[in-house]
Amino acid sequence: MQYRLMLAFLCGLVPPLPALAQDDLPFTAADIEAAQYGLGDLPPGRSALTAKVQILLDRSGTSPGVIDGYKGGMSQSAIMAFERRAALPVDGIMDPHVWNLLQAYAVRPVTQAYTITQADAEGLVDHIPTDYAEKAQMEAMAYTSVAERLGERFHMDEKFIQFLNPGIDLVPGATIQVMAPNPPLKGQVARIIIDKENRRVAGYNARGDMVVDYPATIGSAATPSPEGTHNVRTVALNPNYTYNPDVNFRQEGNDTKLVVPPGPNGPVGTVWIGLTKPTYGIHGTPTPSQLFRNQSNGCVRLTNWDAEELAGMVAIGGTTVEFLPTGMTIAEATGAPSPTVPTPQIALPEGTQTPEVPVTETPLSLPDETAATTLPQTAPLEAEPEAPLDAEPEVPPADPLSNALSDALPEGFVVPPVEDTQP
């Protein structure tokens, strides 16, 4: 009896151990495969279920940005886009309707094993400086680590790669677990709608069907994105970038024109889609996990892999780009319905009848094989000045980048999609 009283007394004196935060709970690729939806919204913090939902959204063409397992703003905006396409009530909250429809993209495993190659560890740089004069002295705005390179390849946050592979050094020969995205979607995007309110960029085909929808950084309060409707004028992969303080922002200490070499960590990432609106475009970013935190000088930033996918679906002179007025959403612009839908039973993997995957448009006609694999060397890419530049006669006004690319790219050239096979 005395022992029990003493034990109770000691337990009363010792405070209970704090519960592990959601972020501290480890999970594996197998846990992601086994994750099933119950009821209610996604759990807070990082979870295997959220990682599974993110990869299924990614495969559907409604990008969550980086896959990191966290319930956050980009994933919520992707669920909203998915609901809008499916004519569901648009609230961004996970529910049985969304889960059931996502099973169309779960017909194969959502994770995969990958063995790191020697090529994955080559061509890296120690760091990317912030000073443009130092950037201009580098050979390439290359990846800084194997994790960063594989993160872009598998649409993952590089820290999430480490999370799924604790204790494994990311060196050639190591086998790790990563997510399994689909190859880039193929089709034709005739209309791009840019939603400043929800920070999304949606692509529609000529029939008015949504093909893709991406999270984006869209301008800033100081340098907002343009208004109105414009057209795609140029497309280039892996462009370099020209810092020009005479027509652009001025970085302290750098008063002369500088050419920054190309690479995934360049100011516009791996893609430039120039518009007929002078100095503006849609492009990649060196910081994909920061899309909803960063600001731009007026252009529209996507993850590099989303920008590459979109570049393969636009047509020069044949794709319009519509910047919605502040406060207007894509749902309002397209008249997307928000019906009241009865709650269905939750789909399970065994014996589940998966809905038919939406059919995309006929793939683009590509140039010959050589042109499809080798992009002409592009001229320096101009940064984003606030004032328009002089227009060429009898063509839409163009920024310095578009003028340079007009000489480097053949008329009507569209960048081919990224190769379907994973390295």
Residues classed as catalytic: 283, 299
What are the C-alpha distances in Å from 4 to residues 7, 12, 17, 190, 253?
Answer: 5, 12, 21, 76, 73
Q: Which residues, 6 or more positions from 261, have their beta carbon under 8 angstroms from its beta carbon?
A: 135, 136, 138, 139, 140, 141, 240
CA distance 125 to 235: 27
* 322 three-class SS: strand
Cα-only R_g, the chain: 23
| Structure letter (DSSP) for residue 165 | S
Token pair, residue 58, equals: 């990614």
CA distance 126 to 307: 25
Contact 382, 266 (CB under 8 A): no
Q: What's the one-letter identity of residue 405?
A: L
Picking from 109, 110, 84, 114, the residue whose alpha carbon sits closest to that of residue 97 is: 84
The residue length of the chain stands at 423
* 281 three-class SS: strand
CA distance 76 to 226: 26
Contact 48, 61 (CB under 8 A): no
Q: What's the maximum distance between 2 C-alpha atoms anywhere in the chain?
A: 99
Could you write out the DSSP letters of every residue in 114-181? EEPPTGGGSS--S---S-HHHHHTSS----SSHHHHHHHHTTB-HHHHHHHSTT----TT-EEEEE-P
Report the Cα 117 to chain-centroid distance in Å: 25
What are the C-alpha distances in Å from 249 to residues 14, 223, 282?
Answer: 59, 11, 18
Token pair, residue 129, equals: 């400086």
What b/e readout covers 109-145, taking b as 16+ CB neighbours within 10 angstroms? ebbeebebeeebbeeebeebeeebeebbebebbbbbb
CA distance 364 to 420: 14
Contact 217, 305 (CB under 8 A): no
Report the Cα 323 to chain-centroid distance in Å: 19
